[in-house]
Amino acid sequence: MESRAFGRLGSISSLTLGGGGIGGVWGTTDRAEAVATVHAALDAGITMLDLAPSYGTGFESEVAVADALRGSPSDVMITSKVQLPDDDGRDFAARIRGSLHASLTRLERDHLDVLVLHTQFRGATPLAGTIDAAGYRDEIVPTFEHLRDEGLIRAWGITAVGDPAPLLDAFAEAPRPDTAQIVVNALDQNGDLWIHGDSVRPDNPALVRAAAGAGVAVTAIRVVAAGSLTDGLDRSVPADHPAAVDFARAAPFRALAASFGESPASLAHRYALSVPGVATVILGVKNRAELAECLAAEARGPLGDDEFKAVAALTDLAD
């Protein structure tokens, strides 16, 4: 598997196994299959696992990874997350440390390679579940920096979705995050992530360029737009659900994939891997079969110029 630069952490595999799928967020799985999928990912050359305390239906992805790695020496990098909506109280330092300690306990590790702030920034319109820029700059960033100095984390990052203005500020101002998780998919769909609705739609390609230009390693998320860029949604949602709406809008993408002789999911992953500035693509797979499809897509290599342009030309049609 291709290796790519990943800032202070050196290099990383072009694919990262995400915890949402193996935690049951994207359809049904079980502990045994989750553990087997982790083993298969490591055997294929994947060098990072992207987890979170919230990734779990009946069991946490962190616990499944601990099961998979127990007794088997591995230098795989582990990412986990902390959520800090400031309507829950502003004791950010204590909450970050408490969340990190709980993750390390579940993972049976003494440090994380990356700790990611998994809360959206507050934009012009205050919304519950967000954080303000001052809290991020004055309280959260210093805590992350202290944790790195203490050796409890090796790097830190942000989930860069929502209002773009504070995200661009975070990339521009030192100390910058080491990495940013940014939505990257063929139709620039929201991947069912916007608490802001469609009133705030970041220019995700511009966010990727800004992050990469500032030396912030980009991890691409929602590359199949929460299942909308696949053959079919793997969970039942109402017809007016954002994922269902995006799936309907993606019909031209599925037709294009068929004309290329590959599945929509394969084309979606190859597209994300071809976007300049992307360090690694986070997979939302929940089993070994879905993992194998993504591994095969990566093995096919990046899209050619004509293929990339054909996919990019569909973006306006999906709006």
Task: Provide the pLDDT for residue 138.
Answer: 94
Residue 179 burial (CB < 10 Å; 0-12/13-18/19+)? Answer: buried
User: Position 202: which residue type?
Assistant: P
Query: In this predicted structure, what is the pLDDT of residue 47?
Result: 96
Per-residue model confidence as pLDDT tens digits over 189-201: 876 665 555 555 5
Is residue 154 within 8 Å of 9, Cβ to Cβ? yes
Number of Cβ within a 10 Å radius of residue 187: 23
Give the three-class secondary structure for 219. strand
Positions of the chain with pLDDT under 70: 57-59, 73, 86-88, 191-202, 316-319
Give 56-71 as a DSSP string: BSSSBHHHHHHHHHTT
Where in the chain are the domains?
A: 3-318
**Tell me, what amino acid is at 200?**
V
Q: Give the span between the Cα atoms of 179 and 196, in whole angstroms.
A: 23
Show Cβ contacts of residue 276 under 8 Å, excluding neighbours closer than 6 positions. 208, 209, 212
Residue with tokens 């700790």: 115
The confidence score (pLDDT) of residue 299 equals 97
Tell me, what's the pLDDT at 54?
A: 84
Count of beta carbons in the 10 Å neighbourhood of residue 83: 18
> What is the pLDDT at residue 194?
57
* Contact predicate 259/251, CB 8 Å: no
pLDDT at residue number 59: 61
- Residue 195 pLDDT: 56
Q: In terms of residues, how long is the chain? A: 319
- Positive or negative: CA dihedral 305, 308, 313, 316: negative
Q: Given phi > 0 = left and psi -120 to 50 = alpha, else beta, which region is 90? A: alpha
Architecture of domain 3-318: Alpha-Beta Barrel (3.20)
Q: What is the pTM of this model?
A: 0.92
